[in-house]
Amino acid sequence: MRGFISYFIFCRKKVVDLVSNWIYKCLSLLIAFLCDNPRYFKLKAYQKILIGGLVITLGELISGVILNLWLHLNIWSYASDRFNFLGQIELKNCILWTLIITPLILWLDSHLTYYLYKEDKPISLIGFYKDLFTLK
Protein backbone atom coordinates (compact mmCIF):
# COMPACT_ATOMS: atom_id res chain seq x y z
CA MET A 1 0.00 0.00 0.00
CA ARG A 2 2.84 2.41 0.84
CA GLY A 3 4.31 1.88 -2.63
CA PHE A 4 0.98 2.72 -4.25
CA ILE A 5 0.68 5.95 -2.27
CA SER A 6 4.26 6.93 -3.12
CA TYR A 7 3.61 6.17 -6.79
CA PHE A 8 0.38 8.20 -6.73
CA ILE A 9 2.16 11.19 -5.15
CA PHE A 10 5.00 10.90 -7.68
CA CYS A 11 2.56 10.72 -10.64
CA ARG A 12 0.52 13.62 -9.30
CA LYS A 13 3.66 15.75 -8.97
CA LYS A 14 4.71 14.86 -12.52
CA VAL A 15 1.30 15.86 -13.90
CA VAL A 16 1.38 19.15 -11.99
CA ASP A 17 4.92 19.86 -13.20
CA LEU A 18 4.09 19.01 -16.80
CA VAL A 19 0.91 21.07 -17.00
CA SER A 20 2.19 24.08 -15.08
CA ASN A 21 5.46 24.13 -17.03
CA TRP A 22 3.61 24.31 -20.35
CA ILE A 23 1.25 27.01 -19.11
CA TYR A 24 4.08 29.13 -17.77
CA LYS A 25 6.17 28.62 -20.92
CA CYS A 26 3.28 29.89 -23.04
CA LEU A 27 2.76 32.87 -20.73
CA SER A 28 6.50 33.59 -20.75
CA LEU A 29 6.43 33.70 -24.55
CA LEU A 30 3.50 36.10 -24.37
CA ILE A 31 5.39 38.35 -21.95
CA ALA A 32 8.55 38.18 -24.10
CA PHE A 33 6.48 39.17 -27.15
CA LEU A 34 4.99 42.09 -25.23
CA CYS A 35 8.37 43.29 -23.97
CA ASP A 36 9.88 43.22 -27.48
CA ASN A 37 6.92 45.00 -29.05
CA PRO A 38 7.70 48.69 -29.79
CA ARG A 39 4.19 49.74 -28.75
CA TYR A 40 4.87 48.30 -25.28
CA PHE A 41 7.78 50.73 -24.76
CA LYS A 42 5.42 53.69 -25.14
CA LEU A 43 3.02 52.47 -22.45
CA LYS A 44 2.88 54.22 -19.11
CA ALA A 45 4.00 52.43 -15.95
CA TYR A 46 0.46 51.78 -14.72
CA GLN A 47 -0.52 50.28 -18.08
CA LYS A 48 2.44 47.89 -17.97
CA ILE A 49 1.53 46.96 -14.39
CA LEU A 50 -2.06 46.20 -15.34
CA ILE A 51 -0.98 44.05 -18.28
CA GLY A 52 1.51 42.17 -16.08
CA GLY A 53 -1.08 41.58 -13.37
CA LEU A 54 -3.54 40.35 -15.96
CA VAL A 55 -1.01 37.88 -17.39
CA ILE A 56 -0.15 36.52 -13.93
CA THR A 57 -3.82 36.20 -12.99
CA LEU A 58 -4.57 34.52 -16.31
CA GLY A 59 -1.79 32.02 -15.60
CA GLU A 60 -3.23 31.24 -12.18
CA LEU A 61 -6.73 30.82 -13.64
CA ILE A 62 -5.62 28.53 -16.47
CA SER A 63 -3.49 26.45 -14.10
CA GLY A 64 -6.33 26.20 -11.60
CA VAL A 65 -8.92 25.19 -14.18
CA ILE A 66 -6.68 22.46 -15.62
CA LEU A 67 -5.13 21.13 -12.41
CA ASN A 68 -7.97 21.63 -9.93
CA LEU A 69 -11.17 21.43 -11.96
CA TRP A 70 -10.33 19.13 -14.87
CA LEU A 71 -7.73 16.84 -13.26
CA HIS A 72 -9.26 17.09 -9.74
CA LEU A 73 -5.87 17.47 -8.05
CA ASN A 74 -7.26 20.06 -5.61
CA ILE A 75 -3.99 21.92 -5.15
CA TRP A 76 -5.64 25.17 -4.03
CA SER A 77 -9.10 26.63 -3.69
CA TYR A 78 -10.35 30.15 -3.13
CA ALA A 79 -13.95 28.95 -3.05
CA SER A 80 -14.44 30.08 0.55
CA ASP A 81 -13.04 33.57 -0.11
CA ARG A 82 -15.16 36.49 -1.25
CA PHE A 83 -14.78 37.76 -4.81
CA ASN A 84 -13.47 34.49 -6.23
CA PHE A 85 -13.95 33.20 -9.76
CA LEU A 86 -14.51 29.45 -10.05
CA GLY A 87 -12.60 29.09 -6.78
CA GLN A 88 -9.32 29.45 -8.72
CA ILE A 89 -8.56 33.18 -8.52
CA GLU A 90 -9.70 35.88 -6.17
CA LEU A 91 -9.57 39.66 -6.08
CA LYS A 92 -7.19 40.14 -3.13
CA ASN A 93 -4.44 38.01 -4.69
CA CYS A 94 -4.97 39.63 -8.10
CA ILE A 95 -4.39 43.04 -6.52
CA LEU A 96 -1.32 41.81 -4.64
CA TRP A 97 0.17 40.28 -7.81
CA THR A 98 -0.51 43.48 -9.71
CA LEU A 99 0.82 45.97 -7.17
CA ILE A 100 3.74 44.05 -5.65
CA ILE A 101 5.07 41.35 -7.96
CA THR A 102 4.55 42.94 -11.38
CA PRO A 103 6.53 46.13 -10.61
CA LEU A 104 9.38 43.98 -9.30
CA ILE A 105 9.36 41.91 -12.49
CA LEU A 106 9.35 45.00 -14.71
CA TRP A 107 12.10 46.64 -12.68
CA LEU A 108 14.23 43.49 -12.84
CA ASP A 109 13.62 43.20 -16.59
CA SER A 110 14.78 46.77 -17.17
CA HIS A 111 17.95 46.14 -15.14
CA LEU A 112 18.69 42.91 -17.01
CA THR A 113 18.31 44.59 -20.40
CA TYR A 114 20.54 47.42 -19.19
CA TYR A 115 23.34 45.13 -18.03
CA LEU A 116 23.04 42.47 -20.75
CA TYR A 117 22.22 44.57 -23.81
CA LYS A 118 23.56 48.01 -22.78
CA GLU A 119 20.18 49.68 -23.20
CA ASP A 120 19.02 52.83 -21.39
CA LYS A 121 19.80 53.11 -17.70
CA PRO A 122 16.71 52.02 -15.70
CA ILE A 123 15.09 54.01 -12.93
CA SER A 124 15.14 52.84 -9.34
CA LEU A 125 12.39 50.68 -7.92
CA ILE A 126 11.15 53.64 -5.86
CA GLY A 127 11.11 55.76 -9.02
CA PHE A 128 9.12 53.05 -10.74
CA TYR A 129 6.52 53.11 -7.96
CA LYS A 130 6.46 56.92 -8.12
CA ASP A 131 5.70 56.72 -11.83
CA LEU A 132 3.01 54.17 -11.07
CA PHE A 133 1.21 56.28 -8.49
CA THR A 134 1.54 59.54 -10.44
CA LEU A 135 0.22 57.73 -13.55
CA LYS A 136 3.31 58.53 -15.64
Highest mean pLDDT: which range of 21-25, 41-45, 50-54: 50-54
Neighbouring residues of 61: CB distance < 8 A, sequence distance ≥ 6: 85, 86, 88, 89
Residue bearing the bigger pLDDT, 82 or 132: 82
Least confident of 1-5, 18-22, 122-126, 131-135: 1-5
Query: Helices 2-36 and 45-64: crossing angle, nearest 10°?
Result: 150
C-alpha 34/C-alpha 113 separation (Å) is 14
pTM, two decimal places = 0.72
- Cα-Cα-Cα-Cα torsion 95, 101, 107, 113, nearest 10 degrees, comes to -120
C-alpha 126/C-alpha 109 separation (Å) is 15
43: three-class secondary structure by DSSP: coil
C-alpha 57/C-alpha 39 separation (Å) is 22
